[in-house]
Structure 1
Amino acid sequence: MEALKEVIGANAVALFDGAAMHTPVAVTEQAMAIVAQLDIDGVVGLGGGSSIGLSKAIAFRTGLPQIVVPTTYSGSEMTAILGETQDGLKITKSDPRIRPETVIYDVELTTTLPVDISVTSGMNAIAHAVEALYAHDTNPVIAALAEEGVRSLAAALPKLAKSPDNISAREQALYGSWLCGICLGSTAMAIHHKLCHTLGGTFDLPHAPTHTALLPHALAYNAGHAPQAIERLKRALNHDNPAVALFDLAQSLGAEMSLKNLGMPEEGIDRATDLAFKNVYPNPRRLEPEGVRQVISDAWNGKRPA
Structure 2
Amino acid sequence: MRFFHDTLAQRVRFASGEAAEQLAEEVKELGASRVMVIAAVPERALAHEVAAGLPVAVWHYEVAMHVPVEVAERARAVAVRAQVDLLVPVGGGSTTGLAKAVALTTGLPIVAVPTTYAGSEATSVWGLTEAARKTTGSDPRVLPRTVVYDASLMLSLPVEMSVASGLNALAHCVDSMWAPRADPINAALAGEGIRALKVGLPLVKADPLALQGREEALHGAYLSAVAFASAGSGLHHKICHVLGGMFDLPHAQTHAVVLPHVLAFNGRAALDAERRIARAFGADSAGAGLAALREALDAPRALKDYGMPGRGIAPAVEAVLAVVPASNPATVTEENLTALLRAAWEGDHE
SS in 2 for 1:84: strand
1:19 aligns with 2:63: yes
Residue 149 of structure 1 corresponds to 193
Shift of 1:25: 1.0
1:210 aligns with 2:221: no
Alignment equivalent of 2:339, drawn from 294, 297, 301: 294
Separation in 2 of the partners of 1:160 and 1:50?
A: 22
Separation in 1 of the partners of 2:335 and 2:291?
A: 22
Separation in 1 of the partners of 2:317 and 2:292?
A: 25
Percentage identity across aligned positions? 42
Shift of 1:190: 1.4
Separation in 2 of the partners of 1:182 and 1:200?
A: 22
Residue 2 of structure 1 corresponds to 48
Q: Is the 8 A contact 1:32 1:58 kept in 2?
A: yes
Separation in 2 of the partners of 1:109 and 1:130?
A: 26
Alignment equivalent of 2:117, drawn from 45, 49, 73: 73
Residue 197 of structure 1 corresponds to 241
Alignment equivalent of 1:261, drawn from 301, 305, 310: 305
Separation in 2 of the partners of 1:52 and 1:248?
A: 31
Separation in 1 of the partners of 2:56 and 2:297?
A: 39
Gaps of 5+ in 2: 1-46
Letter in 1 for 2:219: Y
Separation in 2 of the partners of 1:4 and 1:24?
A: 26
Q: Is the 8 A contact 1:68 1:100 kept in 2?
A: yes
Bigger drift between 104-113 and 275-284 goes to 275-284
Separation in 1 of the partners of 2:349 and 2:198?
A: 18
Q: After superposition, give the CA deviation of every residue in 1:39-63 in whole Å (9 maximum; x if it has no partner).
A: 1111001111011001111101100
Structure 1 residues 119 and 156: CA distance shift in structure 2, 3 A: same
Separation in 2 of the partners of 1:44 and 1:218?
A: 34
Residue 228 of structure 2 corresponds to 184
Gaps of 5+ in 1: none
Q: Is the 8 A contact 2:240 2:258 kept in 1?
A: yes
Separation in 2 of the partners of 1:3 and 1:15?
A: 13
Shift of 1:111: 1.2
Provide the aligned length of Structure 1 versus Structure 2: 303
Letter in 2 for 1:221: F
Letter in 2 for 1:108: S
Separation in 2 of the partners of 1:104 and 1:4?
A: 11
Q: Is the 8 A contact 1:256 1:262 kept in 2?
A: no
Shift of 1:248: 4.2
Residue 220 of structure 1 corresponds to 264
Structure 1 residues 152 and 5: CA distance shift in structure 2, 3 A: closer
Letter in 2 for 1:294: A
Aligned alpha-carbon RMSD (Å): 1.2
Q: Is the 8 A contact 2:238 2:323 kept in 1?
A: no
Residues 85-164 of structure 1: pairs in structure 2 closer than 5 A: 85-164=129-208
SS in 2 for 1:13: strand
Shift of 1:244: 4.2
Shift of 1:29: 1.2
List structure 1 runs of 4+ shifted beyond 3 angstroms: none
Q: Structure 1 length normalisation: TM-score?
A: 0.96
Residue 62 of structure 1 corresponds to 106
Q: Is the 8 A contact 2:93 2:120 kept in 1?
A: yes
Letter in 2 for 1:71: T
Shift of 1:99: 0.7
